[in-house]
Amino acid sequence: MTHARGERAALCDLFDRLGPGAPTLCERWNTYDLAAHLVLRERRPDAMGGIGISALAGYTASVQNGLKAKHPYPELVGIVRRPGGVYGLLPFLDTAVNTLEFFVHHEDVRRAQPGWEPRELPADLDRLIWKRVAAGARLMLRRSPVRLVLRRTGGGVALGGAREGAKVQVTGTAQELLLFCFGRQAHARVELTGDDPAVTRATEARLGF
């Protein structure tokens, strides 16, 4: 099983266990909302634009709410379990696009529950996450008002954020740096080194794609 499929299955198992009203780290979304988002992302390409374009967000929200109205929660989770659209037809694309997507959303649900702890990841998944972080740091951190230096525990450095001015060093494992870059700064177990005002600006910045 690929890591994309493994994270998908683990997230759906967690969805089933927690039910439709559990919190997530996605602002204003519970588990039912997140499941609907994942179905929309794979099976309603006409509504995907609003995920990243605010002018289209109203239509996307309407379609997402429509999916919840049409499908009871267990049914919606069942749809998430099966890769849909082009990802279901092309496993290599599922791996390329969905490994990080489902990893982050799995953590969105895990880390919104009490008593969570970071997972110990397989070495190949850890390497893959770091490779994607290093390659995508400039894009994911482009809105940071301060310079950011990502330092991976065990080796590896990536740069992002502002091109000049105050600098903050962010140190952690690959998975924690990924979550930081995806805008989950408050729930990423990283060490931040820099002037206090710069650290505050880095933690409050809107990061991610």
pLDDT score of 4 = 94
Residue 23's Cβ-side half-sphere holds a number of Cα atoms within 13 Å equal to: 7
- The pLDDT tens digits of the residues spanning 46-95 come to 877 767 777 778 888 898 999 999 999 999 999 999 988 777 777 888 88
Percent of the chain with pLDDT over 70: 100
- Give the tens place of pLDDT for each residue, 172-207: 999 999 999 999 999 999 999 999 999 999 999 999
CB 20 within 8 A of CB 73: yes
Q: Check whether 139 has a pLDDT greater than 90.
A: yes
Q: Residue 157 forms beta bridges with which residues?
A: 151
Q: What is the pLDDT confidence band of residue 45, given thresholds at 50, 70 and 90?
A: confident
Q: For the chain, give the mean pLDDT.
A: 93
pLDDT (mean) for 128-140? 96
* Fold exhibited by the domain 124-204: Nonspecific Lipid-transfer Protein; Chain A (3.30.1050)
Place of tokens 């605010």: 54
Q: Tell me which DSSP letter residue 182 carries.
A: T
Give the model's pLDDT for residue 48.
Answer: 77
Residue spans per domain, the chain: 3-110, 124-204
Kindly tell me if the per-residue pLDDT of 130 is higher than 70.
yes
Q: What is the pLDDT of residue 188?
A: 98
**pLDDT value of position 177:** 98
Return the H-helix or E-strand segment holding 152.
Answer: strand 147-152
Q: What is the pLDDT of residue 50?
A: 67
Alpha helices in 3-160 (DSSP H): 3-18, 31-43, 57-70, 73-81, 85-89, 91-110, 123-140
* In the predicted structure, residue 32 carries a pLDDT above the cut 90: yes
